[in-house]
Chains A and B, each alone.
Chain A
Amino acid sequence: NAGVTQTPKFQVLKTGQSMTLQCAQDMNHNSMYWYRQDPGMGLRLIYYSASEGTTDKGEVPNGYNVSRLNKREFSLRLESAAPSQTSVYFCASTRDTSSYEQYFGPGTRLTVT
C-alpha cells in the first residue's frame, strides 16, 4: 500500500497563477485533510472532508478551495496564488473524524513569487 500520496512534490508559481494539489489514499479511509506547515506556526488545518461528498473549512480556508472527488481523492486548489501561500502542504487521512491516528502524505513544497 502506498498510503497517502501527493503530487507534485515541489511547485513554483507566480502571483496570480492557479494550481491544484492532488492527494490520494488507498487505505479506504473516510476522512481526509489538508494542512499547511509554516515555520513558527505549526500545522494549520485548511479544509477537511469528513466523508465522501462533504467538505468543511478549517482554521485557514481563505484563498483555497477543495474537492472530494471520490473516497480516495481530495484535491486542494489555489485559484489566484499569493506569496502568503508559500508553504509546505500536507494531506492526511483517517478512518473517520473520531480516529486519532492521522496518516500523512509526504508534502508539497509550494513557493509563490
Chain B
Amino acid sequence: AQRVTQPEKLLSVFKGAPVELKCNYSYSGSPELFWYVQYSRQRLQLLLRHISRESIKGFTADLNKGETSFHLKKPFAQEEDSAMYYCALSSGNTPLVFGKGTRLSVIA
C-alpha cells in the first residue's frame, strides 16, 4: 500500500533560518513525489515535483529512493512561507496519496 508520512504537524522557525519539512513514503514501485502548499485563505496548489528538479520560491526537494524520503528544504525562511505543506505520492492511474501535512510558521 502507498503511504506518505509527514512526521511534524507543526514546524516553527525564525525568519532567515533554514527550513526542512520532512516527508517519507512507502511504495514498492517507482513513485512520483510532489509538494503542495496551502497559504492562508488560498487554495491548495502544487509547489513542486521531483521530476522537474526545479526550485520554486527558493524551495527544493530531492527524492532519495534509498531513504524513501522527499524532504522540502529552503536555506532562508521568509514570513510569506508560513503555510500548510502537503507531501503527495503518485503511483500511476490512481489518485494522489497525501500526507497529513505540516504547518510551517515563520517567526519574525
User: A and B from one assembly?
Assistant: yes
- Interface on A for B, CB 8 Å cutoff? 31, 33, 35, 40-45, 48, 50, 58, 90, 92, 96-98, 100-102, 104-107
A107→B88 CA distance, assembly (Å)? 19
Partner pick for B101 among A43, A101, A102, CB 8 A cutoff? A43
B101 — which chain A residues lie within 8 A by C-beta? Answer: 42-43
A40→B94 CA distance, assembly (Å)? 24
| A57 → B minimal CB distance (Å) | 11
Partner pick for B93 among A33, A97, A102, A105, CB 8 A cutoff? A97
- Interface on B for A, CB 8 Å cutoff? 6, 9, 32, 34, 36, 43-46, 49, 86, 88, 90, 92-96, 98-101
Interface CB pairs A-B, < 8 A, 11: A35-B98, A40-B9, A42-B101, A45-B95, A90-B44, A96-B93, A97-B93, A98-B92, A101-B46, A102-B44, A104-B43
A104 — which chain B residues lie within 8 A by C-beta? Answer: 43-45
Known contacts A43-B86, A100-B32, A100-B34, A33 near B95 by CB under 8 Å: yes
| B40 → A minimal CB distance (Å) | 13
A44 — which chain B residues lie within 8 A by C-beta? Answer: 98
A2→B43 CA distance, assembly (Å)? 13
| B92 → A minimal CB distance (Å) | 6
| A94 → B minimal CB distance (Å) | 8
A42 — which chain B residues lie within 8 A by C-beta? Answer: 6, 86, 98-101
